[in-house]
Structure 1
Amino acid sequence: MLAIEYRRHGGYEELRLVERPAEPATGGRASIRLSYAEVSPADDTIRAGRMDTSLHRAPPLIPGGGVGRITDPGATGLAEGTRVVVGGGGLGWRTDGTWREQLTAEAPQLIPIPDGVGDEAACALFAGAGYSTAYLVLTRVAGLKAGHTVLAPGIGGSVGMGTVEVARELGASLVLTTASRTDKAEQARAAGHQHVIDLSRESLADGVTRISTRWPDGRRGYLDGIVTDVPARGQGHARRIVDALVGHLHTAGIHYVQLHASNAGKPVYEAAGFVPGSYPSMDLVTAPPAG
């Protein structure tokens, strides 16, 4: 089978595509055919030689956790064909990981994937433990409720990025994050992460104060249904309406405004200072009561 391993510590150039013998499903272990393998910060740290050597095996080593399908369940009690997340038990640290076509694993290292969840999504959820860690911390430790504000430092890390995205899904009204350099901050904003504090330009305290002062109570404005009749288009009517509405909200102390723009309307809103956001739209229509 094909595998990717490194034989000495160093940069990405140390990774090698190699032939390895397939592992038989013996000793109660299941055989898994891999479909996706994660790339995590821990894998990078170990390969680069920056991890305490007492925590991992010396090279050669295959990195990673991942997702696959059981081809031989062994004595794990799982059915052949079950899709599973493969991880834990020192995988990629003390034993070879998932950057290969096939491996064997014990039952505690296998998490069945529910129907309706794709292999790619399952692998992304566990990559670097970012999203799973974020969800557990926000729900079980922090007790996040809809409308709360969340500070998730380190948008470039798996846990930082995972916390930003999970907090939004859980209804946080304001999610702030940080980047260590300007290029990272710009890249994060371009990806839709609006409230990024560039720590190379301002302190964390100053950034939090700046952003939270602009949105002190979590209220937001929403513009809906701005339509200009075809004969009246191109005369600046929509822009004047937008400016007036934004001005009214500003006077009311609301400094965060959202809208959903058509392709034709985007140039008008961009000229008024709007930027692409990260909150997708969803609709719900309920039936009126009978009678």
Structure 2
Amino acid sequence: MKTVEFTIPGNYEVLKIVDRPIPDLLEGQLLVRITLAAVNAVDNTVRSGKFTGRHTPVILGNEGVGIVIKGNSDFTEGTRVMISCFTEGGQIRGIYTNGLWAEYIAVYPDELIILNDSISDEEAAAFPVSFFSAQACLNKAEFQPGKSVLSLAVGGGVGNAAVQLATVLGASQVITTAGSTQKYEKALLYGFQNVIDLSKESISDGVMRITEGKGVDIVIDSIGGNLTGEAIKSLSRNGILVTIGYSAGTTFSANITDFVWKGLQMRGQSLNGWFDRDAEKEIWNQLMPLLEDAKLKPLIAKVYDAEEVAEAQRFLIEERPFGKVLIKF
């Protein structure tokens, strides 16, 4: 089978196409033929050597979609499935275990979700990490209908997913940001509202303008860096910021008096190691009916052939496209 892997961490070009045997199945496992897999920022982090302790070679890829080749009574041959970003042991696929950048994968039934015909392969491949992360963040922020939400980065996977989820779940107001006028205009074309163009005004200025000085109840921050400090200024009294990413940096500056006088809270969220099987299923049960009813729609920026994976990673990291990047096997 074809795999995309690397042996020594480095730049994009260390990713190589390698021919490997189709994996043998352990007791209870199923064989799935991968059709599409997503390219995420964490793949770049692993490939560049920032995660230590991995045995090589490394096969990346957290999320994808495929067809059951060897199944069971519940997952018969030919069933189209979305592959969870979590392994049977609760780890994120492709970080501490090999991932989905391969033609075939051996998985346990609990790692698969059957897809109905209303969901395209592209949507299924782009869905698990971003929307699971966004729902986990909203849960951690104690979101309820009627709350106002700011989700940073409308063009990013988690940022966009949180905008869609907060809207569908009944937020009183949903605000988001775009890092450039080009992304701002694209967001408007997609129908998103209350978008702040960060090339023209700050997060806090934009939020206060839109909310008429009230601020927001919840911030979902998948970006980090200086934007986190700006987002904190946007919170209303007793507001909660949940942070899940740091692509813009790992440090920020904030005024302690905002936390003291306004009663603010900042909470961290990660996926790896946080969810047992029951907690994972609870979130999938929140998400899948919305996807099946077409109330959620992952946005796709570009699909590459597997042989173009180095360029796919470069495109994601350096050009920061609006929507998800996928590779095809």
Q: Which has the higher contact order (CA 8 A, sep 6+)?
A: 2
1:80 is aligned, of 77, 82, 102, to 77
Residues 41-83 of structure 1: CA distance to partner in whole angstroms, max 9, x if unpaired? Answer: 222222233x4325x5454334332111211126x96433332
Query: Is the Cα–Cα contact under 8 Å of residues 33 and 71 in structure 1 kept in the other structure?
Result: yes
Q: Which residue of 2 aligns with 1:289?
A: none
Residues 68-102 of structure 1: CA distance to partner in whole angstroms, max 9, x if unpaired? Answer: 1211126x964333322223124212232112211
Q: Which residue of 1 aligns with 2:107?
A: 105
* C-alpha distance in 2 between matches for 1:65 and 1:166: 19
Q: Which residue of 1 aligns with 2:292?
A: none
Report how far residue 184 of structure 1 moved: 4.9
Is the aligned partner of 1:13 residue 2:13? yes
* C-alpha distance in 1 between matches for 2:65 and 2:52: 27
* C-alpha distance in 2 between matches for 1:138 and 1:29: 33
Summarize the Cα distance change of 1:138–1:184 in structure 2 as closer, same or farther, 3 Å threshold.
same
* C-alpha distance in 2 between matches for 1:108 and 1:98: 16
Secondary structure of the structure 1 residue equivalent to 2:210: helix
Report how far residue 131 of structure 1 moved: 1.6
Q: Which residue of 2 aligns with 1:36?
A: 36
* C-alpha distance in 1 between matches for 2:132 and 2:189: 24
* C-alpha distance in 1 between matches for 2:57 and 2:78: 32
Query: Is the Cα–Cα contact under 8 Å of residues 3 and 59 in structure 2 kept in the other structure?
Result: no
Q: Which residue of 2 aligns with 1:153?
A: 152
Summarize the Cα distance change of 1:34–1:208 in structure 2 as closer, same or farther, 3 Å threshold.
same
Q: Which residue of 2 aligns with 1:121?
A: 123
Amino acid at match of 1:161: N
Aligned residues: CA RMSD: 3.3
Scaled by the length of structure 1, what TM-score is found? Answer: 0.60
Is the aligned partner of 1:174 residue 2:173? yes
Query: Is the Cα–Cα contact under 8 Å of residues 57 and 93 in structure 1 kept in the other structure?
Result: no
Query: Is the Cα–Cα contact under 8 Å of residues 59 and 100 in structure 2 kept in the other structure?
Result: no
Query: Is the Cα–Cα contact under 8 Å of residues 7 and 59 in structure 1 kept in the other structure?
Result: yes
Q: Which one has a bigger Cα radius of gyration?
A: 1
Q: Which residue of 2 aligns with 1:196?
A: 195
Secondary structure of the structure 1 residue equivalent to 2:124: helix
Is the aligned partner of 1:93 residue 2:91? no
Query: Is the Cα–Cα contact under 8 Å of residues 25 and 72 in structure 1 kept in the other structure?
Result: no
Give aligned pairs, total: 211
Query: Is the Cα–Cα contact under 8 Å of residues 134 and 162 in structure 2 kept in the other structure?
Result: yes
Secondary structure of the structure 2 residue equivalent to 1:53: coil
Report how far residue 186 of structure 1 moved: 5.3
Higher strand share: 2
Report how far residue 161 of structure 1 moved: 1.2
Matched residues, percent identical? 36
Q: Which residue of 2 aligns with 1:282?
A: none
Summarize the Cα distance change of 1:165–1:57 in structure 2 as closer, same or farther, 3 Å threshold.
farther
Scaled by the length of structure 2, what TM-score is found? Answer: 0.54
